[in-house]
A and B are shown apart, each in its own frame.
Chain A
Amino acid sequence: MSEKYIKTVKIISFCIALILMIMAGRAFYEHRYFKGAIVLSPGVTEVKKLSDYFSPLEGTANDCNIYILDSGNPGGTVMVLGGTHPEEPGANLAAQVLVENAQLEKGRLIVVIWANRSASTVSRPGDAYPQFYHISTDWGVKKFRMGDRWANPLDSWPDPEVYVNYPSRQLLAYMDIRNLNRTWPGKADGALVERTCYAFIELIKEEKVGLFIDLHEAELEYPVISTIVANQNAQEIAAMVSMILTAFEFKRPIGMEFSPPSLHGLSHREVGDYSDALSLLFEAPEPFLDRVRGITDEHLLLTGKDPFVMKAGEYGLLYEKIDEEGWPIDVRVGRHCSTILQSVQTYSEMYPDKVVAISKVPRYAEVIENGVGHYFYDPDEAPTDRVVYE
């Protein structure tokens, strides 16, 4: 081969690599720095940052917004956490429905949409995860960022050989040091996600949160699904809520489970043990997460319809039913909305001195009838001081 030929091939190869680099880099950059608009409901009285409760988090990827809805009337305080695992969109969408719609008649509501913001800045290209998903609204299509289960390694790296939860010293998988639901109650001088949990515990104590709710979705192959996991301090509320919702509201039942006392790092265990808050965790079914799923795309994420997952169900390999209707995002968000509202109502009935009364939040049937997009508002039409980006 002549020198000239080799040089030409080298230049062409380098140019192709450069183009691929720019295309990939641009896609990753756009995803990492995407800012979604949130239109604040009239009920939102203050937007704080997590670093207001623990200053070392300032300027980090996990310095998320804290939305406070204060009725101005005496009562209790409820906190709802979305985005613990940003690959579970039903959770952050339900939290955003609260921020854009809820109004408080009594007590206070604190909402977090992206608890592990860093995990929302990375997806799983190797598993064919889409970078974004789109929800139809009354005014157009709203774009949301799809995330991962673990914080972005760009923000927290390297991982240890084995993650040792603090202070329980329970051994967990190495990458769970970046998993917000394995690092409770947090560590002030730990890795990013441990510090994030520490900050949330500080928030819970400072704001005197009485009821803490962590929103999740799970694969149908996972036994903890369609359920409320309760710390022993909240088991009466969970039992009552699951009975009421199963009897009167949901097409498919929602169960209730006890938080295992020896399983550490999870919010339903540690928030209840390390603060005065009653701690609950909600799980809705998300077929997108099942390992036996077929084509992995935005359609599956939003419709929850998958023939391979259905086939697994026919063989009795699943812990939740699935049929041709799938598990659409409206159903999943609707279940979370109703479970939140019913839990708050039951909490208020059990603790009359800590009443929290929420209005304007849709329940299960309304979300299914109108679609979740109906409850997101046009940021271009809202006053600029009522729109925040996260």
Chain B
Amino acid sequence: MTTINLVIMIIYHIISVFVVFVLIWSIIKTKDVQEAILYCIILIPFTLRVFHIK
């Protein structure tokens, strides 16, 4: 069980890194100000997860 949990945890972190990358890419590409602000807010929890802080 511990091994499965570890594998899921690693996959989860890889997904989190991917989401952070997609969000930053979206901030750069979007032409909509409201969208850019929204992406910035969403970026906060995902970044904290990537760094294993929260």
Q: Chain A CB within 10 Å — which of B31, B43, B54 has the most?
A: B54
> Given contacts A6-B36, A17-B40, is CB(A24)–CB(B5) below 8 Å?
no
CA distance A16 to B8 in the complex (A): 32
**A25 with B48: CB separation less than 8 A:** yes
**A32 with B53: CB separation less than 8 A:** yes
Partner of A190 from B1, B9, B54 at Cβ < 8 Å: B1
Residues of chain B with a CB closer than 8 A to A6's CB:
31, 33, 36
CA distance A315 to B3 in the complex (A): 50
> Given contacts A6-B33, A158-B8, A191-B2, is CB(A14)–CB(B53) below 8 Å?
no
Within the complex, what minimum Cβ distance (angstroms) separates B23 from chain A?
10
Chain B, residue nearest A195 (CB): B2
Chain A, residue nearest B37 (CB): A13
Chain A, residue nearest B24 (CB): A14
CA distance A5 to B33 in the complex (A): 9
CA distance A157 to B8 in the complex (A): 8
Q: How many residues of B are counted as interface, with CB atoms below 8 angstroms from the partner's CB atoms?
A: 22
**B40 with A13: CB separation less than 8 A:** yes
Partner of A14 from B5, B8, B40 at Cβ < 8 Å: B40
Residues of chain A with a CB closer than 8 A to B53's CB:
25, 28-29, 32
Residues of chain A with a CB closer than 8 A to B1's CB:
189-191
Chain A, residue nearest B46 (CB): A21
Interface residues in B9-35 by Cβ distance below 8 A to A read 9, 12, 27-28, 31, 33
**B48 with A10: CB separation less than 8 A:** no
CA distance A28 to B8 in the complex (A): 23
> Given contacts A21-B47, A25-B48, A158-B8, is CB(A1)–CB(B33) below 8 Å?
yes
Interface residues in A122-166 by Cβ distance below 8 A to B read 154, 156-158
Interface of B, helix, strand, loop or mixed by DSSP: helix
Interface of A, helix, strand, loop or mixed by DSSP: helix
Residues of chain B with a CB closer than 8 A to A9's CB:
33, 36-37
A20 CB-CB contact with B under 8 Å: yes
Residues of chain B with a CB closer than 8 A to A25's CB:
47-48, 51, 53-54
Q: Chain A CB within 10 Å — which of B5, B33, B40, B41 has the most?
A: B40
Chain A, residue nearest B43 (CB): A17
**B44 with A24: CB separation less than 8 A:** yes
Residues of chain A with a CB closer than 8 A to B52's CB:
154
Within the complex, what minimum Cβ distance (angstroms) separates B26 from chain A?
11
Chain B, residue nearest A20 (CB): B44
**A21 with B44: CB separation less than 8 A:** yes
CA distance A21 to B54 in the complex (A): 11
Residues of chain B with a CB closer than 8 A to A10's CB:
27-28, 33, 36
CA distance A17 to B40 in the complex (A): 6
CA distance A49 to B31 in the complex (A): 56
Residues of chain B with a CB closer than 8 A to A13's CB:
27, 36-37, 40
**A157 with B9: CB separation less than 8 A:** yes
CA distance A24 to B33 in the complex (A): 24
| 0/1 string, A1-43, CB within 8 A of B gives 1 | 1000110011001101100110011001100100000000000
**A14 with B27: CB separation less than 8 A:** yes
Residues of chain B with a CB closer than 8 A to A191's CB:
1-2, 5
CA distance A61 to B12 in the complex (A): 20
B contacts, CB < 8 Å to A: 1-2, 5, 8-9, 12, 27-28, 31, 33, 36-37, 40-41, 43-44, 47-48, 51-54
4 more contacts with CB within 8 A, not counting A13-B40, A154-B52, A157-B9, are A10-B33, A17-B43, A21-B47, A191-B1
17 contacts between A and B (CB under 8 A): A5-B33, A6-B36, A9-B37, A13-B27, A14-B27, A17-B40, A17-B44, A24-B48, A28-B54, A154-B52, A154-B54, A158-B5, A158-B9, A190-B1, A190-B2, A191-B1, A191-B5
